[in-house]
Amino acid sequence: MIRIAIANQKGGVGKTTTAINLATALAATGFRVLLIDFDPQGNASTGLGVARGARGRSIYQVLSGDVALADAAIATNVPKLDIVTATQDLSAAEVELAAEADRSRRLSQALDSAEGRWDICLIDCPPSLGLLTLNALVAARYLIVPLQCEFFALEGMSQLLNTVELVRQRFNPSLSILGIALTMYDRRNRLSEQVAADVRDVVGNLVFDTAIPRNVRLSEAPSHGMPALIYDHRCPGSEAYIALARELIARLPAPAVAA
Ligand code: ATP
Ligand code: MG
């Protein structure tokens, strides 16, 4: 199972939108995909139409060791896409796990136990660099960083890269950055263009060629409980996420693409 964390400690940069729509595009390609909602806000769960009342077993119980990951996963309306939901109580995990020796490996261990059930696992991280995001980075082989095309885009990037380096040294030497995805790109706005150019200057070939445009359809879809790719599969946002998924697959090692 290829494990990919989607993280950026900056809030509202498009992590969840990217997680939901990439997961959908990958499932449509034939992969068995698991999306882990790893944010107490539960936005990925809501966006995939799992109402709060329907989140019986969530990632919180998995981290606590009460439920196996495979038993917490539920099918979504998207064929081949399952989700492990998140609820508000996940925010308590940061505190509750603090004293446990294996606190940073809980998610990794849970995923080990479900090896073989899915081809790809995407982890939608919360907007912080706390214990939850640490668990995701320790569990993941790859990291995708959504970066919003606005003035402060690069601020915080060095902190994130430092964290990745620390995780590599102390916990997970195989963690690598699969790519940086530019989000909310507006080609009529010169700032967007300038930011995209600056980011490409600084982090070069890590940046995916596909920039996700600012597109109202992407922001409407979650309120209907479905991925934009199903809500309106021909809108520019959906087309961009399909292109991004194609790039993502091309960056994975060859055997992964056999699905
Ligand atoms: P958080 O840090 O709170 O978890 P996030 O990084 O997961 O946020 P999203 O929830 O994906 O970010 O996006 C933030 C808001 O911007 C949401 O309302 C979403 O619908 C909207 N949005 C995301 N991407 C786009 C886009 N390309 N075009 C228009 N709106 C977008
Ligand atoms: Mg989010």
Amino acid at residue number 146? P
98 forms beta bridges with none
Residue nearest to atom 30 of ligand 1 (CA): 219
What ligand 1 atom has the least distance to the C-alpha of 19? 11
Sheet of strand 142-148, all strands in order from the earlier edge strand to the far edge:
74-75, 81-84, 33-37, 120-124, 2-6, 142-148, 176-183
Question: What are 5's two structure tokens?
Answer: 């964390």
pLDDT for 73-111, tens place per residue?
999 999 999 999 999 999 999 899 989 999 999 999 999
- For tokens 């400690």, name the residue: 9
Domain parsing of the chain, residue ranges? 2-251
Asked whether the CA dihedral 244, 250, 251, 253 is positive or negative, the reply is positive
Query: In the block, which residue shows the tokens 């261990």?
Result: 109
pLDDT in tens, 126-157: 999 999 999 999 999 999 999 998 878 788 88
Distance CA 179, CA 225 (A): 27
- Mean pLDDT on 158-173: 95
Render pLDDT for 245-254 as a digit per residue (tens, 0 to 9). Answer: 999 999 998 7
Site of tokens 């706005």: 189
Could you tell me the two tokens for 99?
Answer: 């004293």
pTM: 0.97
Spatial distance between the Cα atoms of 168 and 247, rounded to a whole number of angstroms? 24
Task: Pick the residue whose CA is nearest to atom 14 on ligand 1.
Answer: 12
Q: Which fold has domain 2-251?
A: Rossmann fold (3.40.50)
Give the whole-angstrom CA distance, residue 173 versus residue 183. Answer: 28
With 0-12 / 13-18 / 19 or more C-beta atoms within 10 angstroms meaning exposed / middle / buried, residue 133 is buried
Site to substitute for ligand 1 among 6, 17, 122, most atoms within 8 A of C-beta: 17
Distances (CA, A) of 57 to 158, 169, 243: 36, 33, 33
